[in-house]
Amino acid sequence: MAAPVRSTADQPTSSVQNLTIGKALNLGLRAAMEADDKVLVLGEDVGKLGGVFRITDGLQKDFGEQRVLDTPLAESGIIGTAVGLAVRGFRPVCEIQFEGFIFPGFDQISSQLAKLHYRTQGGIKVPVVIRVPYGGGIGAVEHHSESPESLFAHIAGLKVVSCANPVDAYWMIQQAIRCDDPVLFFEPKRLYHSGALKAPVDTAAEPDPLFASRTVRQGSTATLVAYGPSVKVCLDAATAAAEDDLSLEVIDLRTLSPLDLEPVFESVRRTGRLITVSEAPSESSITSEIAARVQQECFYSLESPVLRVTGFDTPYPPSKLEEHYLPDLDRVLHAVDRALAW
Amino acid sequence: MAAPVRSTADQPTSSVQNLTIGKALNLGLRAAMEADDKVLVLGEDVGKLGGVFRITDGLQKDFGEQRVLDTPLAESGIIGTAVGLAVRGFRPVCEIQFEGFIFPGFDQISSQLAKLHYRTQGGIKVPVVIRVPYGGGIGAVEHHSESPESLFAHIAGLKVVSCANPVDAYWMIQQAIRCDDPVLFFEPKRLYHSGALKAPVDTAAEPDPLFASRTVRQGSTATLVAYGPSVKVCLDAATAAAEDDLSLEVIDLRTLSPLDLEPVFESVRRTGRLITVSEAPSESSITSEIAARVQQECFYSLESPVLRVTGFDTPYPPSKLEEHYLPDLDRVLHAVDRALAW
Amino acid sequence: MSSPEQWTRPEPGAGPAATAAEPTPEQVIAGLRATTEGGAELTQLLNPEGERLASAHFDPYVSDIDAEALRGLYRDMVLVRRADREGNAMQRQGQLGIWVPLLGQEAAQIGSGRALRPTDMAFPSYREHGVAYTRGVDFKELLGIFRGTDHSGWDFQAHGFHPYTIVIGNQVLNATGYAMGQKFEGKVGDDDGEATIVYFGDGATSQGDVHEGFVWSAVYDAPVVFFCQNNQWAISEPTERQSRLPLYQRARGYGFPGIRVDGNDVLACLAVTRWALDECRHGNGPVLIEAFTYRMDAHTTTDDPTRYRLSDELEVWKHKDPIERVRVHLARTGGADQEFFDQVQADADAFAADLRDFCFNMPDPPPERIFANVYAEPSPVLEAQQREHLAYLAGFAEGGER
Amino acid sequence: MSSPEQWTRPEPGAGPAATAAEPTPEQVIAGLRATTEGGAELTQLLNPEGERLASAHFDPYVSDIDAEALRGLYRDMVLVRRADREGNAMQRQGQLGIWVPLLGQEAAQIGSGRALRPTDMAFPSYREHGVAYTRGVDFKELLGIFRGTDHSGWDFQAHGFHPYTIVIGNQVLNATGYAMGQKFEGKVGDDDGEATIVYFGDGATSQGDVHEGFVWSAVYDAPVVFFCQNNQWAISEPTERQSRLPLYQRARGYGFPGIRVDGNDVLACLAVTRWALDECRHGNGPVLIEAFTYRMDAHTTTDDPTRYRLSDELEVWKHKDPIERVRVHLARTGGADQEFFDQVQADADAFAADLRDFCFNMPDPPPERIFANVYAEPSPVLEAQQREHLAYLAGFAEGGER
Ligand SMILES: Cc1ncc(C[n+]2csc(CCOP(=O)(O)OP(=O)(O)O)c2C)c(N)n1
Ligand SMILES: Cc1ncc(C[n+]2csc(CCOP(=O)(O)OP(=O)(O)O)c2C)c(N)n1
Ligand SMILES: [Mg+2]
Ligand SMILES: [Mg+2]
């Protein structure tokens, strides 16, 4: 087994680097592994290949095969052994290759990972992170473009987060790994290598807390709330709307469970209108939950109902149709129009 | 293999029988098996034992081991082979012993069962019914009292229903089996053998459609909407409220996906107030979905926000605490009071 | 028909294809089962008549078991059985919601449990009260699960005994991961090596998770002993609903040892488990042990076995009782006298009485327990839910019933 | 170290416990793999040099394969390979979103596919374009999946060819259920019996679903042939990440035959699959076949195999090319002349050109397709969603861009 030596060649000269989301995740994982030698990375093809998205690129080379494990091909095995490793005191970070392949591991997630701490009255901690590249827009075949995060938000005992930019990617993955609870970490795969989203990441900065939403654009006419890949869609929509003199506020949820809706309530009390945006099907989803809670908390502030712009309640369609399936700028603005005309 | 002969000793003399939910399901299954010899029953202990709740009692004796299969102990196997049997032209009815054990089969449900028809542009039908005894209140150990139905409502391609009385139990199971779509059939296990719920079932009657909600008590002050085991709770609450001159309308959802909310909208337009009741955790759930849609459809009719009375967002607690966890008459009426005082 | 050994490398005839089915596996296995003997490959050190059988292979693993030690194992089994019967009785009296009896499986559990060292870790299923006892878990701590006051009570680390797992097969993967961790920490490779043991039933062998546990442990050389208590039944389903072959042979396909031991022979269970753990400690894991035994009672107190099995079967197995054979052996060899047996019985009764006392006085947990420990780090959403519910309850306290 | 055969019945030494680990399974398997020969148990009828090897067992299963038939198999393989290369090319040109190459696996697919009868059913994974071709599925119908115009195009019943399955292992259980259905319908038991074949890879063997398929099929005597194409790699992971033992030996633990065939030998694949299907037809199923072959191209067009494997390996395997050995054999034995080979090449080029033409002109599906066939019976909720979205789109048509 190779010793966990960090190759100094990679060492940046300043603490600020201009990174894509994918590279930020890679550096975040590296930082977490350096900070704590109980952190393990495991999954299919995460070692030599560096993962099919290269998010774990170079980690096995530097940390060895006992800290970066190319596992057998079975997701229940990945998560089930990660639970056991966590019981032993490790902090496993599992990669699920694409979100559509998390389901064979669903039982271990819901029956063991989510419940072990509760069942033992806190006696056992299971600080497992499950990294899930998710969402559409990459022209892929079936099972490679879905957004199943609502299923996990419904399961008590799990925490669920999603990052939408390189700074969050870098910090949130480290915070998730440090968190003593199991965290489902949803990564917007089509943005992994987006040059447009590249941003300076200051590795010496103080990050925002993990389980907090953030207002990423201020506005007064209506509020858009989104997470992961849809944040960019909303920001683009807000930019477009500004040309029509519409001032849209955009909130990046960041944490999907527990939801941090205070900033949303506060915003809706000002704007009176809310549109939630997500690629996931709407039925019994996180966007339903937001609507349910906002209509209760902001009952007298709402000037129109909470509207939802989401994927449809169908399986993910063949990729030639995904531009219709995925919420885009036009659909978001159409919803804004509807809200304003209510 | 025994020939599928029906023992005439059981034959009722009239077409009306006074049945529990459990017995009604048993007779409904029997009727479906008699009507179509492609109907198979499979699961753990469903044969000789008749299932741990005896819902399949006597079926293997009368229909033989090739139509009532005691399967190996693995839920992915049960559902995965049922999918294959359906592709071959059978109509398998799977029993999951307790809802907490459906998760090892989650992948086959979401990846194959839910999607095969879509993927083949209608070329393959998968008329599989998955029977799931669910809900709490039976003083059981872990994994035996949960309400995971929202997870399936979120998955496109599945239909999800729940019965709440013997007449529906008898008919809905037969309709689910006849339905060409996969149906998750949630059965309120603590009411299976409830003598109090016994009701006359006319096996010669014309049943209501499967995918339709039903108003089970009329009222004008507020609307309660529930399904499965919570319907009885709401009816009891309505009876109690009547003593305080509160007139509560109660709607039994029956179909959880697709939701049939027209009767709910209509009711809310009259009463102006809605309380949704379910044993499931509330986060990203069916009750969230109802709230999200009602606030949109009945925006100007609501006099108070849609309130939810549900299980808490925790794992199911040890059974000595379940009376607190499960929505009861008092919690429902408390919510009514809150809605009225809003 | 050819032996299973040959099935791996078939020898199709040179002539036309087979024209009729061979005997079904059910028939073959029915033949095997008819003996209820476990077959020729059953490892046994103490037969049902209480005779000590020599084994060049396994005797060294129990060379330290003198009369005193055997008396200890006997006592363990009697106490555990007595407590188990008390569990059944308390369920009947409404003190427990359910009880999962271990009757008949005392030797498998005490033998394997006593093979463990304090540094080893055991992952039970839900019937391993005997193993719990060997791990120093107070029997009282088991009751909360069945009374419904908690999901699991003991300190898993202090006892080297993981919480019970009810979802069939799950713990096999968790144990494998734990054992991988032992290896990654460098705790494997010599006489002082650590090992993990995981318990599951015959029915569990069908679950994907058990297979994946086999795959993972083989690939990572994890120091884990798979201890399958084949008690012949998975609720109402006999073992042939799960497999054509004896279950210990499942290991063949993965490239690690599988062995069948007489699960009603406490000495053989101890020896074979010590050997298997030893292999693991030295880095030769994993190992599969099939303890061939019998569930002498119902699956749980809610089960009615008369619906699916004949009482004849039980009668045959009574002759192979795990406790009786040790008693006979001790008596015949002068390893114990009547006074000892009486004393053990008295100890067992006292043990049960204590348990009973405790159980009848167990308090209900407070409602705030519902919300406690869902997360290790607080969730504001849940805290709000808790506040709201407790305020609601407080309203009752103030206002009385509505 | 002892042979795997003996691991099932361990023989622990009579002395002290083992004091050091035996060679790791990786080392053992590395030894096996070093030869890339498939080991002594590999069934082969046509070696890489194109020599016909006699087999008393399997020759009868290919006694009808005269020169003409062999030319047919050759042609199949060449066409399929040519089409596969065209798939790669079209992906590079942006006409396909992705392509999953079968290069190197033509013999395994054509040999096994040609063993099937029309009444049999095949369940592919996602790489079985060659099997699809043998089932009469028009290659064009495969393209929609990779172009993103549909998830699956062909009529599964007409072709006896199930849709592709991407979630690793799922189809193994579906196929087992289908085969159970064949048996329940009484279609098994004589020469005219039906059978099912299911394809999966070496990596897939680790999935719980594959295990459960083995368990179910063994318990129900399902007429299913498990056809594992061991192409040595699961994306970047070599077979030893999945198993200590050769994969065909997995069958041992379940009590049905497992056999390893040279997956680059179309004749052996045909013979062994016919034999296995025959066993199934007669009620002696299931059977596991491991076709020992090699993925000569990347995992998919998005994969970069230079990151994880040496080109040396590929060079060794090139000497065992599945097509070349048939060409050499036909040429040497006078079974075909140059004109034939030229004609096949021309046919293959025409086949590819036709495919290419078709692909470049494939229309995009209309947006309403998103909502179609989610359910067999209508869902009012979804219909409303569809109406709303189509109205929204119509708004654009009327109003132009916003
Ligand atoms: C995944 C799952 N499915 C079903 C059950 C319900 N169940 C509880 S015990 C049992 C039988 C287990 O048999 P076996 O593995 O032989 O263990 P035993 O109870 O005989 O000790 C079943 C089906 C469960 N607990 N988990
Ligand atoms: C359940 C699941 N997990 C992960 C994947 C991603 N994936 C696609 S192919 C593949 C490797 C499969 O290897 P193998 O079974 O050997 O088949 P091959 O591709 O070599 O034909 C993986 C990991 C998947 N499709 N399904
Ligand atoms: Mg058992
Ligand atoms: Mg492969």
Tell whether ligand 2 has an atom less than 6 A from the beta carbon of residue D203: yes
- At B239-295, the pLDDT tens digits run 999 999 999 999 999 999 999 999 999 999 999 999 999 999 999 999 999 999 999
pLDDT in tens, B15-39: 999 999 999 999 999 999 999 999 9
- Both C348 and C385 in one domain: the answer is no
Regarding whether C107 and C69 lie in a shared domain, the answer is: yes
Domain count within chain D = 2
Q: Which residues line ligand 1 (CB under 6 A)?
A: B 44, 73, 75, 97, 101, 104; C 127, 166-168, 201-204, 231, 233-235, 295, 299
Q: Which residues of C touch A86 (CB under 8 A)?
A: 177
Residue C302 sits at the chain B interface (C-beta within 8 Å): yes
Partners of chain D (3+ Cβ pairs below 8 A): A, B, C
3-class DSSP string for chain D: CCCHHHHCCCCCCCCCCCCCCCCCHHHHHHHHHHHCCCCCCCECCECCCCCECCCCCCHHHHCCCCHHHHHHHHHHHHHHHHHHHHHHHHHHCCCCCCCCCCCCCHHHHHHHHHCCCCCCEEECCCCCHHHHHHCCCCHHHHHHHHHCCCCCCCCHHHHCECCCCCCCCHHHHHHHHHHHHHHHCCCCCCCCCCCEEEEEECHHHHCHHHHHHHHHHHHHCCCEEEEEEECCEECCEEHHHCCCCCHHHHHHHCCCCEEEEECCCHHHHHHHHHHHHHHHHCCCCCEEEEEECCCCCCCCCCCCHHHCCCHHHHHHHHCCCHHHHHHHHHHHCCCCCHHHHHHHHHHHHHHHHHHHHHHHCCCCCCHHHHHCCCCCCCCHHHHHHHHHHHHHHHHHHHHCCC
Rounded Cα distance between A244 and A237, Å, is: 11
Q: Is residue D20 part of a domain?
A: no
pLDDT at B123: 97
Residue B7 pLDDT > 80, yes or no? Answer: no
Residue-by-residue DSSP string for A106-166: HHIIIIIITTHHHHTTTS-----EEEEEE---S---TTSS---HHHHHTSTT-EEEE--SH
Residue D78 placed within a domain: yes
Q: Are D380 and D318 part of one and the same domain?
A: no
In a domain, D7, yes or no: no
Residue D85 lies in a domain: yes
pLDDT tens string C368-402: 999 999 999 999 999 999 999 999 999 987 765 54
- On whether both D46 and D191 belong to a single domain, the answer is yes
Q: What is the mean pLDDT of chain A?
A: 96
Of A255-259, C2-6, D162-166, D264-268, give the lowest mean pLDDT range.
C2-6
B199 at D interface, C-beta within 8 A:
no
The answer to whether C282 contacts D255, with C-beta atoms less than 8 Å apart, is no
Looking at residue C38, its pLDDT comes to 81
- Distance, CA A101 to ligand 2 centroid (Å)? 10
Residue nearest atom 7 of ligand 1, based on CA coordinates: C168
Whether residue A212 has pLDDT greater than 70? yes
User: Which of A154, A307, A342 to probe the B interface (max B CBs under 10 A)?
Assistant: A154
Q: How far apart are CA B108 and CA B121, in angstroms?
A: 19
- Which range of residues forms the domain containing residue D106? 28-360
Judging contacts by C-beta atoms under 8 Å, the chain A residues touching residue D308 are 48-49
What CATH number has the domain bearing residue C32? 3.40.50.970
- Give the model confidence (pLDDT) of A23-40 as tens digits: 999 999 999 999 999 999
C169-202 residue pLDDT tens = 999 999 999 999 999 999 999 999 999 999 999 9
Quick: pLDDT tens for C63-86.
999 999 999 999 999 999 999 999
* Segment-wise mean pLDDT, segments of 10 residues, chain D, 402 residues: 36 39 50 61 96 97 98 98 98 97 98 98 98 98 97 95 98 98 97 98 98 98 98 96 96 96 98 98 97 97 93 91 98 97 98 98 97 97 96 82 46
User: Quick one: C152 and C241 in the same domain?
Assistant: yes
Confirm or reject contact between D170 and chain B (CB < 8 A): yes
Round the average pLDDT of chain B to a whole number and report it: 96
Tell which atom from ligand 2 comes closest to the C-alpha of D168. Answer: 26
Kindly state whether residue D316 falls inside one of the protein's structural domains: yes
Q: Looking at residue B10, what is its pLDDT?
A: 55
Name chain D contacts of B92, Cβ cutoff 8 Å: 177
pTM of the model: 0.95
Q: What is the pLDDT of residues C268-316, one digit of tens each?
A: 999 999 999 999 999 999 999 999 999 999 999 999 999 999 888 899 9
Residues of D in Cβ contact (< 8 Å) with B91: none
Q: What is the mean pLDDT of residues C119-132?
A: 98
Average pLDDT score, chain C: 91
d(CA D320, CA D298): 18
| Same domain flag for D302 and D187 | yes
Residue C7's pLDDT is what?
40
Q: What are the structural domains, with CATH classification, of chain A?
A: 17-202 (3.40.50.970), 214-341 (3.40.50.920)
Query: Are C69 and C206 in a shared domain?
Result: yes
pLDDT at position B26 is: 98
Q: Do B314 and C374 touch (CB under 8 A)?
A: yes
* pLDDT tens-digit readout, C32-46: 454 467 888 899 999
Alpha carbons within 13 angstroms on the beta-carbon side of residue D277 total: 28
Q: What is the pLDDT of residue A10?
A: 55
Q: Return the closest-CA partner of residue D368 out of D382, D350, D351, D354.
A: D382
Q: Are residues D338 and D193 in the same domain?
A: yes
Are residues D377 and D228 located together in one domain of the fold? no
- Looking at the structure, do residues C137 and C41 belong to the same domain, yes or no? yes
In a domain, D106, yes or no: yes
CA torsion B229→B232→B233→B238, rounded to 10°?
A: 150
C100 token code pair? 């999962």
CB contact under 8 A, C166 and B44: no
Catalytic residue, chosen from A143, A144, A154, A334, is A144
Nearest Cα to A221, choosing from A203, A204, A244, A198?
A244
Query: Do A314 and D147 lie within an 8 Å CB cutoff?
Result: no
Catalytic-residue membership of B117: no
Any domain includes C128:
yes
Task: List residues, by chain if needed, whose CB lies under 5 Å from ion ligand 4.
Answer: D 201-202, 231, 234
In a domain, D194, yes or no: yes
- Report pLDDT for C396: 84
Amino acid D402: pLDDT = 43
Grade residue A3 by pLDDT with cuts at 50, 70 and 90: very low
Are C119 and C249 in a shared domain? yes
Same-domain status, D103 and D217 = yes
Of residues B14 and B130, the one with the higher pLDDT is B130
